[in-house]
């Protein structure tokens, strides 16, 4: 059985290790199907707060939380939707292909709770994590299982990158784009920096960000190329000092050592007819 149990002070976590070899592997928590570790050549690339709460209820502060069916505040249910706080099913893998790359797949289907919350909708989300020698791919697919009737959703992979020094990390591919500045009453602005550095509270939704993003000076001094398919938008988030202090599950100084660059379909909802499938993916490639 690939699921291993790990007991925190509050709960027993069910974890699946997606291991290519000892130095290249990922760990997925069935709570939220949250990828909470990706090690590339022995270096942890993903940030998880030292104060993260592992109680199988709260969303994990760090890793790659899966946001579905709503990004942000949601009138029908919890912020960022229910996917990141639901228990997922491990449906296949980890299995190795002829290149030595290893994949595992996780599934979330509607339940009585989600139907009550979300207009009775029936759905299946499939999430596949693949560890390659120089990259991590996360494939995300939603199927509308309603007999009739479409549904609308937004979705996003809320990736927390571990960075040694936030002042030296840059993100390319945003210059000239319109973005919603959630730190300034949701005003729509235009990005003038390329590449962008973060030097204060940042919560920006870049609309139709179709280019790859080169992210420099991440863990181990490495550079990552974030490539995406069908995730039309990119969110950049860092809580900075004041917000960090206000979050109980985040260390006061940790904002200096993380940056969220998030691939999503969030600036407009995706409308999915009954029986249809939405497919998107993200690859984090080490350059």
**Catalytic amino acids?**
158, 262
190 strand-pairing partners: 178
Contact criterion met (CB below 8 Å) for 94 and 17: yes
Answer for the pair 236, 202: CB distance below 8 angstroms, yes or no.
yes
In our burial notation (b when 16+ CB lie closer than 10 A, e otherwise), range 94-108 reads beeeeeebbbbbbbb
φ and ψ at residue 130, rounded to 5 degrees:
-125, 125
- Cβ 107 vs Cβ 88: under 8 Å: yes
Residue 172 CA to residue 165 CA, distance in Å, equals 17
CA distance 135 to 78: 32
213 closest CA partner among 177, 178, 263, 172? 172
The answer to whether the peptide bond before residue 69 is cis (omega within 30 degrees of 0) is yes
């Amino acid at each position: 059985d690939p699921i291993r149990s790990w007991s925190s002070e509050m709960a027993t976590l069910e974890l699946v290790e997606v291991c290519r070899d000892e130095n290249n592997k990922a760990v997925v928590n069935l709570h939220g199907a949250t990828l909470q570790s990706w090690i590339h050549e022995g270096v942890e690339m993903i940030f998880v707060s030292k104060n993260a709460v592992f109680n199988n209820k709260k969303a994990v502060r760090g890793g790659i939380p899966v946001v579905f069916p709503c990004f942000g505040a949601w009138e029908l249910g919890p912020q960022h939707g229910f996917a990141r706080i639901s228990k997922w099913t491990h449906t296949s893998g980890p299995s190795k292909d002829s290149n030595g790359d290893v994949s595992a797949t996780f599934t979330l289907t509607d339940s009585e709770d989600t139907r009550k919350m979300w207009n009775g909708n029936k759905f299946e989300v499939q999430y596949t994590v693949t560890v390659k020698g120089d990259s991590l791919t996360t494939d995300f697919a939603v199927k509308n299982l309603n007999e009739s009737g479409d549904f609308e959703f937004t979705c996003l992979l809320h990736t927390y990158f571990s960075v040694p020094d936030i002042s030296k990390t840059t993100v390319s591919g945003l210059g000239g784009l319109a973005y919603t500045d959630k730190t300034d009453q949701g005003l729509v602005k235009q990005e003038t920096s390329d590449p962008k550095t973060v030097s204060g509270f940042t919560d920006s939704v870049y609309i139709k960000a179709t280019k790859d993003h080169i992210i420099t000076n991440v863990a181990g001094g490495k550079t990552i190329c974030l490539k995406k398919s069908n995730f039309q938008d990119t969110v950049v988030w860092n809580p900075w000092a004041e917000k960090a202090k206000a979050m109980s599950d985040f260390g006061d100084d940790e904002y200096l050592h993380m940056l969220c660059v998030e691939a999503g379909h969030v600036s407009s909802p995706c409308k999915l007819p009954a029986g249809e499938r939405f497919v998107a993916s993200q690859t984090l490639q080490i350059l």
